[in-house]
């Protein structure tokens, strides 16, 4: 496999020096003291980068999306995201803390507003989550920044990845192989696909890992050519963050970091990748390692197939649309569908829909379908 590195500023991350990302996400719950504790613990456990999510609920889902099961009972997912909105000043203070400790601040935007706020606070790198890989309008916004950008590719097909890379062709890119399931089964990771993705798209690759074991998938990914490893981080799996049940507490995160260092050193030696994989096979068993390596063909993993067209973006009604009403930015939004609503058209078709009459009633929140598109409205301002 050809060696690629990913550069952030003056630093290049490669197989010998992977970018290890502690994904805190929204695990701080909006509490700045908790966020500071998480940052300190993540960097103390060996994280090279600490990542957050810059949330505005209206950029992600519709209020009618449905509920998420939490220890205290079901909670409306939209309300949960609203509670996690912190604003740019909060995020800027987290950036200052991460960078003061010598780590890379990384944050995920979910729409143009959050992306612009991150740009304005001077971030040096962007990260796009898997559900936004097909969010054409967000990618077009990021393309104007020219910043190094990391793309996660869970619940995606080759065409989805190709489309995102084409939209961001002027930016330095890295691609993270990902399985969008929580937790993700090790045997769904198919890590032999890393070499194929790197060769096919000509970009450095890594893995965003949602499996439970702290070592197997991250270390095996590095042995297979990954220069980036992202793993959710928490203080305790009993905490109340959305992703805490599948995140690594500090001790396990340190185990992962140490294993990655050990495997990177073996892979850089005379035996290369084969020696590193053999080392892991001796530790975890040949059958388990082979199952995690997979066949190298890019496909939707069994654990995430049902999520395709639901966790990624599509066009939805942002309020009730009556038959004959003009479709526009005031009544359409590009959102994640999730579990309850019907999926809509791919975001790249939004310009085609704007300025047309609704051919039938579209209920609030439902996905916009081809059958909803009527004739173009004269003088619609398109």
Q: pTM to 2 decimals?
A: 0.95
Assigned fold of 6-293: TIM Barrel (3.20.20)
Length of the chain: 382
Residue ranges covered by each domain of the chain = 6-293, 309-376
Q: Which residues contact 254 (CB under 8 A, 6 or more apart)?
A: 45, 46
pLDDT digits (tens, 9 = 90+) for 169-209: 999 999 999 999 889 999 999 999 999 999 999 999 999 99
pLDDT digits (tens, 9 = 90+) for 11-40: 999 989 999 999 999 999 999 999 999 999
Q: Mind giving me the DSSP string for 247-292? A: SBPHHHHHHHHHHHHHHHHHHTSTTHHHHHHHHHHHHH-HHHHHHH
What letter does residue 14 receive in the DSSP assignment? B
Alpha-helical (H) ranges within the chain are 32-44, 77-83, 88-100, 112-120, 136-143, 158-167, 193-201, 216-223, 250-267, 272-284, 286-293, 350-353
pLDDT of residue 142: 98
Assigned fold of 309-376: Type Iii Antifreeze Protein Isoform Hplc 12 (3.90.1210)
Gyration radius of the chain's alpha carbons? 21
pLDDT of residue 337: 95
pLDDT of residue 127: 97
Local structure of 152: helix, strand or coil: strand
Q: How far is CA 257 from the centre of its chain?
A: 21
> For the chain, which residues score pLDDT lower than 70?
1-4, 70-72, 380-382
Nearest-5° angle of CA 212, CA 336, CA 372?
Answer: 150
Give the phi and the psi of residue 154 in degrees, each rounded to 5.
-65, 155
Q: 183 preceded by cis ω (within 30°)?
A: yes
pLDDT of residue 4: 67
49-53, strands of its sheet edge to edge = 104-108, 49-53, 19-25, 228-232, 205-209, 173-178, 149-152, 126-128
Q: Which two tokens stand for residue 91?
A: 């995020």
Q: Which two tokens stand for residue 240?
A: 């109340």
């Amino acid at each position: 496999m050809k060696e690629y590195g990913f550069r952030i500023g003056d630093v290049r991350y490669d197989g010998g020096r992977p970018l290890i990302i502690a994904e805190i996400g929204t695990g701080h719950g909006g509490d700045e003291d908790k966020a500071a504790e998480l940052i300190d613990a993540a960097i103390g456990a060996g994280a090279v980068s600490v990542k957050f999510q810059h949330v505005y609920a209206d950029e992600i889902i519709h209020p009618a999306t449905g509920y998420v099961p939490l220890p205290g009972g079901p909670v409306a997912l939209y309300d949960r995201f609203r509670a996690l909105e912190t604003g740019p000043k909060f995020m800027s203070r987290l950036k200052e803390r991460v960078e003061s400790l010598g780590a890379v601040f990384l944050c995920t935007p979910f729409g143009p507003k959050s992306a612009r706020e991150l740009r304005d606070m001077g971030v040096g790198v962007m990260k796009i989550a898997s559900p936004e890989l097909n969010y054409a309008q967000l990618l077009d916004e990021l393309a104007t920044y020219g910043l190094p950008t990391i793309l996660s590719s869970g619940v995606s097909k080759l065409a989805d990845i190709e489309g995102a890379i084409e939209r961001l062709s002027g930016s330095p890119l890295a691609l993270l192989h990902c399985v969008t399931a929580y937790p993700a089964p090790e045997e769904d990771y198919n890590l032999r696909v890393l070499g194929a993705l790197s060769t096919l798209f000509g970009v450095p690759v890594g893995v965003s890992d949602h499996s439970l074991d702290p070592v197997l998938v991250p270390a095996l990914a590095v042995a297979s050519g990954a220069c980036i490893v992202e793993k959710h981080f928490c203080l305790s799996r009993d905490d109340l963050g959305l992703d805490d049940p599948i995140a690594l507490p500090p001790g396990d995160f340190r185990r992962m970091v140490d294993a990655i260092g050990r495997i990177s050193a073996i892979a850089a030696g005379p035996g290369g990748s084969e020696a590193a994989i053999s080392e892991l096979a001796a530790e975890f068993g040949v059958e388990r390692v082979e199952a995690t390596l997979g066949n190298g063909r890019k496909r939707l993993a069994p654990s995430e197939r049902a999520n395709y067209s639901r966790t990624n973006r599509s066009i939805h009604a942002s309020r009730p649309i009556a038959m004959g009403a003009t479709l526009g930015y005031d009544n359409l939004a590009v959102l994640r569908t999730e579990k309850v609503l019907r999926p809509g058209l791919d975001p790249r078709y939004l310009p085609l829909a704007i300025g047309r009459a609704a051919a039938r009633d579209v209920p609030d929140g439902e996905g916009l379908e081809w059958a909803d598109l009527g004739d173009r409205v004269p003088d619609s301002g398109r």
